Each structure stands twice: as C-alpha cells, then as structure tokens.
Amino acid sequence: MSAFRYITIPEPAAHPTGAKISLHYVIGYVIDLDKRFTSGRKGMFSAQRIAESFEGAEPGTVVALHPEDWTLLAKVLEEPTCGYPDLVADTKDGRRVNIPIGRKTLLPLIDVVLEATTKKPEPPMQETAAAAE
C-alpha cells in the first residue's frame, strides 16, 4: 500500500480583482462537480474523505490524504471534466457575471496538491525566550 500524501495548506492566492482564492475553494469545486467524484460510489466516498480532510484547515495546516484519494484528486486537478471555478460578481444593474480565475492564480494552488509529499512535514520550530537570547 502506498503512503499518505501530505499537503500544507497555502495562503489564498490573490486574483487581479482583489479576491482571495483558497485551495479549499478550488478543491471543493472539483469534488462537487467532476464526474470522477460524482458518478460512482467510490468517487463519492473519495470526495467525502477529501472534503473532511480539508474542512476547517487554515493556511499552514498539514492535511493528510489517502493515497487513492490524492491520486484521483491530482488527476482531476490536472484535467477537470467540469473545468475550473470562476468568480461570480454582481453588476450594477443586478446581473451576475462569471469572471475566470485564470492560470496565474490557479497554477500555484494546483501545484500544491500535485507536489504533495509522502513524508509528513515537521511542525515549525517554536522559538523560546531562552533560544532567542
């Protein structure tokens, strides 16, 4: 059996509009809409485990994914059947419009998942008052 994959949650990526796009948002979109997560029981269970792993994870938190879940998520993020998410904005006349997020914002978030490690990252060293002196 393969090892778990560990992902350190990054800070949200900045979109040119000023919006912040989180890894959680991108992953939530694909696990809710991509056919590989929605068209069969196995994919649905994988989506559920992934969602639970990322739920409430703040930047800097390390998330562990089952090897099969990471493999499926990586494949989906490389080529989602549902596309990538858009931002939704309201216009002055009350219409809603979709604004593409774009590769410069998405690629660093996707790469965090694709570059997951099999070795659990060490927690950051806490500097003590004695060590600082």
H or E, element range at 111: helix 103-114
Q: How many CB atoms lie within 10 A of CB 133?
A: 5
pLDDT higher than threshold 70 for residue 63: yes
Tokens at residue 62, please? 């390390």
User: Which residue in the block uniquely carries the two structure tokens 């559920």?
Assistant: 48
pLDDT at position 117 is 94
CA 109, CA 29: separation in Å to the nearest integer?
13
- Looking from the CA of 99 toward its CB, the CA atoms found within 13 Å total 14
Q: For the chain, percent helix, then strand, then coil, each to nearest 5?
A: 45, 15, 40
pLDDT higher than threshold 90 for residue 91: no
Please report which confidence band the pLDDT of residue 126 belongs to, taking 50, 70 and 90 as the band edges: low
CA 49, CA 45: separation in Å to the nearest integer?
6
Amino acid at 68: E
99 vs 122, higher pLDDT: 99
| Domain extents in the chain | 5-118
**pTM assigned to the model:** 0.85
